[in-house]
Structure 1
Amino acid sequence: MTQYPTIRPRRLRRTAALRRLTTETRLHPAELILPVFVREGISEPRPIAAMPGVQQHTLDSVRRAAADAAAAGIGGIMLFGVPAVRDARGSAADDPDGILNAATRAVVSEAGDALVVQTDLCLDEFTDHGHCGVLDAAGEVDNDATLERYRSIAIAQAEAGSALLGLSGMMDGQVAAVRGALDAAGHRDTAVLAYSAKYASAFYGPFREAVDSQLTGNRRGYQQDPANRREGRREAELDIAEGADAVMVKPAMSFLDVLSDVAQRSPVPVWAYQVSGEAAMIEAAAANGWIDRRGAILEATTSIKRAGADAILSYFAIELAGWLR
């Protein structure tokens, strides 16, 4: 007698209704965060060639972007500033009238409580050398001198109205330094997101165009080695001990194992960043007719959620929210 299987997992895949009922991982618009670039000195939005569909915004157009994000029902917006003038210490970063702080006030005014308005706290966009910190006499990033700059920037961003500061510089002790500065200045309710496991990745290429990066060389002396897995978990644990309200793994898709490790151990929310190169790959392949664009975006983002992300930064956030609704 022919033996047929009695256990048939395919039963639950047979119809769309069954698949929907048994889905293990679901995306929701409220879990999505839109990264947005605001550039000083431009009169209209400027397309970013390496990031189809993404623009450098003016102060006026970033208001419209915030309104669109709020209407889409996504969770938040992460602001990056591109100043007209840079110097060695990134003076524009903590200038109350600098582009990022001005954009923060504009977006807070536009979006109110409909979005969590967040700001990138780093120096790379603001320095004339493109590194995430100040340099010492030997041209190396000075960790502790950089922490002093981060403290000042944190206070400026909090006073501009940012609800959450994204510490992306990968300096040792940055969470403790910023938390202490915020608390001492009376900004105890301003949250801190630590980019804990941020790897020295090839997938940041398009972002460099987006912020007009002045970097020569690389950031391997402070960003993590892509070959290291345990180190990502250790960095997250250190940041949590220093008071981080949430931690980040970046990039997302190349480091799903690290994301899973951190998510399994973290007592605070774990976020992931679907970075510029990940988005650009999908756009380029879709433009050539090699992949289904919508399917690839949904699959890629779902994989990040499945690995353990509580929130995802994605350039597709508004489009995704529309599909999910």
Structure 2
Amino acid sequence: MSVARAERLVNLVLCLLSTRQHLTAERIRGIVPGYADAPSDDAFFRMFERDKTELRELGIPLEVGRNSVFDTVDGYRIARRDYELGDIDLEPDEAAAVALAVRLWDSPELTGAAHGALLKLRAAGVDVDEATPAVVEPKVRTTEPAFGSLLAAVQAAQVVRFDYRRLMPTELRTRTVEPWGVVSWRGRWYVVGHDRDRDAPRCFRMSRIAGEVHTIGKPGAFRRPENVDLMRFVANRGGDPSTPHTTTVRLWLARDRAAGLRRRATVVGEQTLGGEPGDVVELELFHPDSAASWIAGFGPDVVVLEPEVLRKSVLEHHLAVAR
């Protein structure tokens, strides 16, 4: 869809949402930017018919009717009761994940769709500006020139070849890779896949890719292995990606509170802490040290029992807030 047509459709939706009356095609022609450029009446009506069909295919309820018995021409409007989203009940961590997704996919190819989803959620009264869990990187740069090409190659399962700059020793080497996925870690982008030159799984930082990324062969040339944790593989820089290593964290949760944690945890007992009844749960985390601010965000509803390092880290977050 052209940019001009997309803008015209958005303006048409806003116009029909903003009125309680049924607007005739001629009135819409004079109100909505873009229709005045039609060279003739026939051209306008063809354009308007295409736009109406497009809106209906997108699921937008276009209402046809007349304002009074004296009207001789049908008009159009969009009833807010049919258009607006219903009630959406998101937990704080789920709302934070939505906000994070919008900030994460900060690239020209993906920004539009992400912001569209965010606007719909805000229109439904969902607060998506909650603090983002620290277990996921909230700031990711997608300015690397290789990002778009590698993402497309991952989606098409197509082999790529590129020049990669090593640090020790400093040199350029050509790599032929079956890309399994792109991963963000600590504000940087990596591509993970099978390195055909070394016949082993490897990860490559995109900022060290020199020049263009070239595709080799046809799409669908390989299949990504199942049960591969790309994030853990990048974090460990070379371990076996099919064997995750986790740390068991033991927490106290206040009774019927901290639902975001409960969904990921297993209740192993009950305990009264400070006169408050609660449950003892266990949670498997890949990087417990980076989860401190996320856990601290639940306030007094969560207390870390072990490991000690995580308990101290959460306590430091609480002290910082108190100060």
TM-score grouping bracket, smaller chain normalisation = under 0.3
Q: TM-score, normalised by structure 2?
A: 0.26
Q: TM-score, normalised by structure 1?
A: 0.26
Counting helix residues as a fraction of each chain, which structure ranks higher?
1
Higher relative contact order (CA 8 A, sep 6+): 1
Counting strand residues as a fraction of each chain, which structure ranks higher?
2
Larger radius of gyration: 2
